[in-house]
Amino acid sequence: MLRAAVHRLRRELGGYQVALADREVAMERLTGLDELSVADVPDQATLAQALLEIAAALGSVSALRPALAEFRRAVELFGVPHYQADDPRRTAAPGGTWAG
């Protein structure tokens, strides 16, 4: 399911012709995840970081929202938790990183 979700998001991002500042970041992460999903089972930290970067790059694009949601659901199957923006378990750690 992860590989299919990665392929869908890459395909839809490739077809989305509007300029995006972080398009290359998202494409690089998706390419890396595609390669990783063929070679090995990605670990939770890698998936969580990829989800964060891809969501930050594409999250405001409504045309990509369904594919991004499918990708998020696929990542969650590996045990990466889904946090809501107002989730009290997420607190800012020193240095500006998030702890959950």
Owner of token pair 């998020």:
72
In a domain, 73, yes or no: yes
pLDDT tens, position by position, 55-85: 999 988 999 999 999 999 998 888 776 655 4
Give the structural domain span for 49.
2-82
pLDDT for residue 54 is more than 70:
yes
* Total-model pTM: 0.75
Which helix (H) or strand (E) is 5 found in, with range? helix 2-15
In a domain, 76, yes or no: yes
pLDDT for residue 6 is more than 60:
yes
Non-local (6+) Cβ contacts of 74 within 8 A are 1, 2, 4, 5, 6
In a domain, 29, yes or no: yes
Give the number of domains in the chain. 1
